[in-house]
């Protein structure tokens, strides 16, 4: 049956899937060279609402040579300093704005009203609930910080 055959061919032609060229993502590997200079990582403190675009989130900022944080940090290139010249590392050429609470994973800044560091960064609300499990000296430090925060707020 010639007619039937033709229909079959037509159906096949319609059903041929559109082959899109398979673009590989290997181009993305050079990304870091570009991104490093543009602040595009959103940093938003859950405590004080500070909002800033930073250059890097992680433990080893490529522009802070030799620096390795113990936890992931939001790191901003120091906007008040020129770029290092001749490849010489300048230790002060970055600012860590904050990190994530090790308990609830909320982003917090380094401000004393927002985070506390005991073995890892914790936000103040988590610190208040974890406090009782800490050694006395850490509890004392944290309590002092809370007192200072309160007196800061009073005029
Ligand atoms: Zn904050
Ligand atoms: Zn927390």
pLDDT averaged per 10 residues, the chain (length 155): 50 54 48 64 97 95 86 86 60 83 98 96 98 97 93 70
Whether 100 is in a domain gets the answer: yes
Bridge partner list, 99: 73, 108
Q: Separation of 87 CA from ligand 2 center, angstroms?
A: 38
Ligand nearest to the CA of 114: 1
**Containing domain of residue 82, as a range?**
32-153
Q: Separation of 132 CA from ligand 1 center, angstroms?
A: 23
Q: What pTM did the predictor assign? A: 0.68
- The H or E element spanning position 129 is helix 124-130
Whether 67 is in a domain gets the answer: yes
Torsion of CA 123, 126, 129, 132, to 10 degrees: -60
Give me the number of domains the chain comprises: 1
Whether 92 is in a domain gets the answer: yes
Whether 86 is in a domain gets the answer: yes
Report the alpha-carbon distance of residue 78 to residue 99 in Å, rounded: 17
Q: Separation of 54 CA from ligand 2 center, angstroms?
A: 21
Q: Separation of 115 CA from ligand 2 center, angstroms?
A: 8
Whether 17 is in a domain gets the answer: no
Report the alpha-carbon distance of residue 147 to residue 59 in Å, rounded: 31
Q: Separation of 1 CA from ligand 2 center, angstroms?
A: 74
Whether 128 is in a domain gets the answer: yes
């Amino acid at each position: 049956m010639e007619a039937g055959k033709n229909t079959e061919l037509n159906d096949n032609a319609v059903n041929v899937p559109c082959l899109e060229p398979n673009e590989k993502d290997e181009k993305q590997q050079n990304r870091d060279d570009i991104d490093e200079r543009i602040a595009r990582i959103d940093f938003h403190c859950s405590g004080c609402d500070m909002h800033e675009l930073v250059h890097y989130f992680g433990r080893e900022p490529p522009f802070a040579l030799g620096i390795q944080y113990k936890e992931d940090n939001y790191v901003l290139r120091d906007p008040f300093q020129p770029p290092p010249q001749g490849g010489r590392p300048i230790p002060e050429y970055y600012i860590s704005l904050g990190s994530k609470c090790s308990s609830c994973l909320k982003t917090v800044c380094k401000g004393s009203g927002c985070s506390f560091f005991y073995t890892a960064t914790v936000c103040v609300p988590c610190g208040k609930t974890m406090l009782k499990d800490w050694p006395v000296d850490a509890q004392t430090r944290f309590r002092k910080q809370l007192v200072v925060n309160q007196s800061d707020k009073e005029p």
